[in-house]
Amino acid sequence: MNKTLADLSIERYIYRSMPDTPFFRPWRPRLARLGSRTAHTFRQVRAYTLCQLESAFAPWVPTQLFPKASAHQNSRDRDYTRGRTFWSMVWQAFNPNASGREVVRQLQALYRLEGGPKLSPKDGAYCRAKARLPLEPFAEALAATAKSADQQVPARTQLQGRPTKVVDGSALTLANTRKNRRAYPPLQCADKPAFPMMRIVVLFSLLSGAILALAEGSLAASELSLLTVLSSQLAVGDILVGDRGFGYYAVVAWLQHFLKVDFIGRSTRRLDGRRRLRRLGRNDWLLVWAKPQRRSPWLTLLQWAGLPTELTVRVVKGNCYQKGFRVHQVKVATTLLDPELYPAEQILGAYRRRWRLEMCLDDLKTTLEMEFLRGRTPEMVRKEAYTRLIAHHLIRCIIAQAADQQNVCLERISFKGTLDAVRHFTHALARARSKGKRRQLWDELLVTLASDLVPERPDRREPRAVKRKSTKYPRLDAPRRKFRDHPKRNTRRKKARLRRLGLM
Question: What ranges do the domains of the chain cover?
Answer: 1-27, 33-132
> Is the confidence at residue 30, as pLDDT, over 70?
no
pLDDT, position 72: 61
pTM: 0.81
> Is the confidence at residue 356, as pLDDT, over 80?
no
pLDDT, position 215: 94
> Is the confidence at residue 260, as pLDDT, over 90?
yes
| Contact assessment for residue 153 and residue 410, using Cβ atoms and an 8 Å cutoff | yes
pLDDT, position 28: 53
> Is the confidence at residue 187, as pLDDT, over 90?
no
Q: If you average pLDDT over residues 112-131, what whole number do you get?
A: 86
pLDDT, position 1: 47
> Is the confidence at residue 16, as pLDDT, over 70?
no
> Is the confidence at residue 457, as pLDDT, over 50?
yes
pLDDT > 70 fraction of the chain, expressed in percent and rounded: 83
Q: If you average pLDDT over residues 316-325, what whole number do you get?
A: 64
Taken as a whole, the chain contains a residue count of 504
pLDDT, position 116: 75
Which amino acid belongs to residue 170?
A: S
Q: If you average pLDDT over residues 319-331, what whole number do you get?
A: 61
| Contact assessment for residue 314 and residue 336, using Cβ atoms and an 8 Å cutoff | yes
Higher pLDDT, 151 or 30: 151
Beta strands in 236-368 (DSSP E): 239-242, 262-265, 278-281, 284-290, 310-319, 329-334
Residue 302: closest CA among 260, 335, 256, 254: 254
Highest mean pLDDT among 18-22, 154-158, 270-274 belongs to 154-158
> Is the confidence at residue 173, as pLDDT, over 50?
yes
Residue 351: closest CA among 397, 317, 313, 399: 317
Q: Which of 96-100, 103-107, 191-195 has the lowest mean pLDDT?
A: 191-195
> Within 13 Å, how many C-alpha atoms sit on residue 491's CB side?
4
d(CA 11, CA 40): 26
> Is the confidence at residue 21, as pLDDT, over 70?
no
pLDDT band at 223 (very low <50, low <70, confident <90, very high): very high
> Is the confidence at residue 203, as pLDDT, over 90?
yes
Strand 164-174 vs strand 372-373: parallel, antiparallel, or unpaired?
parallel
pLDDT band at 20 (very low <50, low <70, confident <90, very high): low
pLDDT, position 69: 65
Strand 329-334 vs strand 310-319: parallel, antiparallel, or unpaired?
antiparallel
> Is the confidence at residue 276, as pLDDT, over 90?
no
Q: If you average pLDDT over residues 286-312, what whole number do you get?
A: 90
Q: Which of 185-199, 243-257, 297-311, 446-460 has the lowest mean pLDDT?
A: 185-199
| Contact assessment for residue 119 and residue 79, using Cβ atoms and an 8 Å cutoff | yes
pLDDT, position 327: 52
Which amino acid belongs to residue 318?
A: G
| Contact assessment for residue 278 and residue 285, using Cβ atoms and an 8 Å cutoff | yes
Q: If you average pLDDT over residues 88-109, what whole number do you get?
A: 90
Residue 145 phi, psi dihedral angles, 5° rounding: -70, -35
pLDDT band at 8 (very low <50, low <70, confident <90, very high): very low
> Is the confidence at residue 36, as pLDDT, over 50?
no
Higher pLDDT, 128 or 21: 128
> Within 13 Å, how many C-alpha atoms sit on residue 170's CB side?
17
Higher pLDDT, 203 or 330: 203
d(CA 316, CA 336): 11
pLDDT, position 459: 63
Q: If you average pLDDT over residues 220-247, what whole number do you get?
A: 92
> Is the confidence at residue 259, as pLDDT, over 90?
yes
pLDDT > 90 fraction of the chain, expressed in percent and rounded: 40
d(CA 363, CA 392): 8
